[in-house]
Chain A
């Protein structure tokens, strides 16, 4: 089974802090994704990556950056956390364009 692991299930940070969310997958998948999930809005794509050191903006990249130095690891960075970034963050990976995405269990992030 594919395993996508997010480093924290729950995280509480303060406004203005730099926040790192980590995601690791164990199936040598090419593509990785970061979403945020808010009630009534579904999943919205923040950033994605086709391969190591490659990144593309999703639909809501403002206030976020990403890093993919190794194929199995995709990090989401909140440069200066704000309260409107309080949300559930989901990481996903897949092997190719037409393949299903495999999700981690999410990180519930609260910015105070």
Chain B
């Protein structure tokens, strides 16, 4: 059973546009992490959010954890080709394991 659903699965937009990707679950998580994976490499952590309603910004990327800690979003402003990659959310429940989402493959067209 996949506990974290990401949408859209694929997204292709022009450079300079804004976009939002979503990570949804029916389960409550104590923390939510976002990773980006580029071709031929392993995922790299972008951010961790731990409080319901929390918003974190990383340059042009804005991450939000839902109030009920069941969902999260990633918003990118003025997308650039360097943002291209596979974005993965991962939920933690304060114990040993992370549950990874299904992934959103983002392509930014120059």
Chain A contacts to B: CB under 8 angstroms: 4, 31, 35, 40-45, 48, 50, 56, 58, 90, 92, 97-98, 100-106
Q: How many A-B residue pairs have CB under 8 A?
A: 55
Residue from A31, A35, A56, A101 with most neighbouring chain B CB atoms (10 Å): A101
Give every chain B residue within 8 A of A90 (Cβ-Cβ).
42-43
Asked whether any CB of chain A lies closer than 8 Å to the CB of B31, the reply is yes
Query: A92-B42, A103-B42 are contacts. A43–B100 as well, Cβ < 8 Å?
Result: yes
> When the two chains form their complex, are residues B48 and A100 in contact, meaning their CB atoms are under 8 A apart?
yes
> When the two chains form their complex, are residues B96 and A56 in contact, meaning their CB atoms are under 8 A apart?
yes
> When the two chains form their complex, are residues B102 and A41 in contact, meaning their CB atoms are under 8 A apart?
yes
Q: How far is the CA of A100 from the CA of B42 in the complex (A)?
A: 13
Can you list 8 contacts pairing A with B, beta carbon distance less than 8 Å?
A: A4-B42, A40-B103, A97-B94, A97-B95, A98-B31, A102-B45, A103-B44, A106-B40
Q: How far, in Å, is A8 (CB) from chain B's closest CB?
A: 13
Q: How far is the CA of A102 from the CA of B41 in the complex (A)?
A: 11
**What band does the interface of chain B fall in when counting residues whose beta carbon is under 8 Å from A?**
20 to 34
Give every chain A residue within 8 A of B40 (Cβ-Cβ).
105-106
Asked whether any CB of chain A lies closer than 8 Å to the CB of B74, the reply is no
Give every chain B residue within 8 A of A48 (Cβ-Cβ).
96-97
Q: How far is the CA of A100 from the CA of B45 in the complex (A)?
A: 7
Give every chain A residue within 8 A of B88 (Cβ-Cβ).
42-43
Give every chain B residue within 8 A of A31 (Cβ-Cβ).
96
Q: How far is the CA of A92 from the CA of B43 in the complex (A)?
A: 9
> When the two chains form their complex, are residues A104 and B42 in contact, meaning their CB atoms are under 8 A apart?
yes
Chain B 1-30 near chain A by CB (<8 Å), digits 1 or 0? 010101001000000000000000000000
